[in-house]
Homo-oligomer: A and B are copies of this chain.
Amino acid sequence: MYRTALDLTLDAPALTAALVDFPSVSGTEKPLADAIEEALRELPHLTVDRHGNNVVARTHLGRTERVVLAGHIDTVPIADNVPSRLDGNGILWGCGTSDMKSGVAVQLRIAATVPEPNRDLTFVFYDNEEVAAHLNGLGHVAEAHPGWLEGDFAVLLEPSDAQVEGGCQGTLRVHLRTKGERAHSARSWMGSNAIHAAGPILARLASYEPRRPVIDGLEYREGLNAVGIEGGVATNVIPDECTVVVNYRYAPDRSMAEAEAHVREVFADCGVSEIVVDDHTGGALPGLSHPAAAAFMAAVGGTAQPKFGWTDVSRFSALGVPAVNYGPGDALFAHKRDEHVAVDKITHCEERLRDWLTS
């Protein structure tokens, strides 16, 4: 038996299975973080740092470029899908197979098997990605030890179906409020109906034409949608307030300030009495024109795709590190009971990254 809890001599698919069988639902990552730290400390070419349940390992070879390979070690709650199961068609099933223990396995394999990479490497394993943003371990490391995350380029091994996904869109959530005046509904003319007043907001949303800008050759796709609506005091009262919760997903050529200004402009003449920003995280430009990114693209092949959802590449972007998503999982099956990953995708990603870092 291997002398640490995680056996880094396993191939990447087998290591993925071992990681899935080592549960680490958000908030319970400590044992897995301990095992990862322990395994990495066995590797003489790496220095290892730890902050909470976040582990950062680095080479110090004096290369001209430094590349960050990052992944979160937590999963959503288990849904009768642990332990993992490999079927006869080369599909590995289980919680985290796709999002993103297969990516973490690839990180660990590169760490263990590429002692002299052509670029200095930083491996980041962090916790609490699947829960509220303020708990996110990558954010905590960025705040406490920004130096640990320095680099010329970052690859997040989030599920991207072994395609490069560049940048990510921003997401802004606002509350649009309309006001009215209460009255008994038997004498409705004595009041003013705030729910009726929300009609123009919904009409504007329904007719809104989202942009599809092309950035670095990638076509992004925006969206402006009501994700909630609430109004009403009692069933016999004309309501004096109604709130429409709107989510604006926007392409990374727009700054946070521009995104907010755009939303205010869209609803400028809809009778909104108040706009409150409830949540806002900016997008990240794909950064594919950076030389390190170009070399990466050439090595892994394929055509880069835009990332529509918000991901932690935005955190690297905020630190000035261009970042992409590139991992073996398939986002379509993330967070699902039937989560799975194709074993050949895991091997493919591992090989492409190794080629890039050793050629």
**Is the CB–CB distance between A229 and B242 below 8 Å?**
yes
The answer to whether the Cβ of A213 comes within 8 Å of any Cβ in the partner chain is no
Selected A-B contacts with CB under 8 Å, 25 pairs: A171-B186, A185-B247, A186-B308, A186-B309, A187-B221, A188-B249, A193-B225, A195-B226, A195-B244, A196-B205, A196-B206, A196-B225, A197-B206, A198-B202, A225-B238, A226-B231, A227-B232, A227-B236, A228-B239, A229-B229, A229-B230, A229-B232, A230-B230, A230-B232, A235-B247
- Contact status of A229 and B228, CB under 8 A, knowing A185-B249, A186-B249, A249-B185: no
* Bound complex: CA A38 to CA B3 (Å): 91
Report if A310 contacts B (CB, 8 A): yes
Pick the contact of A202 from B169, B199, B238 — CB < 8 Å? B199
B189→A223 contact, CB < 8 A: yes
Q: State which residues 205-260 of A face B: CB under 8 Å.
A: 205-206, 210, 221, 223, 225-239, 242, 244-245, 247, 249
Within the assembled complex, what's the spacing in Å between the Cα atoms of A185 and B205?
14
Considering only residues 292-321 of chain A, those with a C-beta below 8 Å from chain B are 308-310
- Nearest chain B residue, comparing its CB with the CB of A202: B199
Q: Is the CB of B238 within 8 A of A227?
A: yes
A237 to B247: give the CA distance in the assembly, Å: 9
**CB neighbors of B among A139-192 (8 A):** 169, 171, 173, 184-189
| A160 → chain B closest CB, angstroms | 14
A249 to B188, CA, bound (A): 9
Is A276 positioned at the interface, with any CB of B under 8 Å from its CB? no
A125 CB to nearest B CB, Å:
25
Known: A198-B202, A249-B185, A309-B186. A235 touches B239 (CB 8 A): no
Could you tell me the distance in whole angstroms from the C-beta of A100 to the nearest C-beta in chain B? 17
Contact of A239 with B223 in the complex, beta carbons under 8 Å: no
**A187–B247 touching, CB < 8 Å:** no
A87 on the interface (CB 8 Å rule)? no
Within A80-118, the residues touching B (CB, 8 Å) are: none
Interface size class of A (residues with CB under 8 A): 35 or more
CB contacts (< 8 Å) of A261 on chain B: these are: none
- Whether the Cβ atoms of A235 and B225 lie closer than 8 Å is no
Residues from chain B with a CB closer than 8 A to the CB of A265 are none
Q: How distant is the Cα of A182 from the Cα of B59 in the complex, in angstroms? A: 45
Name the residue on B nearest A194 (C-beta). Answer: B226
CA distance A134 to B264 in the complex (A): 48
Q: Is A269 an interface residue when CB atoms closer than 8 A count as contact?
A: no
Q: Name which of A193, A221, A227, A247 has the most chain B CB atoms within 10 A of its CB.
A: A227
- Contacts known (A226-B196, A226-B231); A308 close to B187, Cβ less than 8 A: yes
A195, B308: Cβ atoms closer than 8 Å: no
A1 in the interface, Cβ–Cβ < 8 Å?
A: no
A308 to chain B, nearest CB (A): 5
CA distance A49 to B229 in the complex (A): 51
Question: Knowing that A186-B223, A196-B202, A227-B236 are A-B contacts, what are 17 other residue pairs whose CB atoms are under 8 Å apart, sorted by A's residue number?
Answer: A171-B186, A188-B210, A188-B225, A195-B225, A195-B229, A195-B244, A198-B229, A199-B203, A226-B232, A227-B232, A227-B233, A227-B234, A227-B238, A228-B231, A228-B239, A230-B232, A232-B245
Q: How far is the CB of A138 from chain B (nearest CB, A)?
A: 19
- A205 closest partner in B (C-beta): B196
Contact check, B195 vs A202: say whether CB atoms are below 8 A apart.
yes
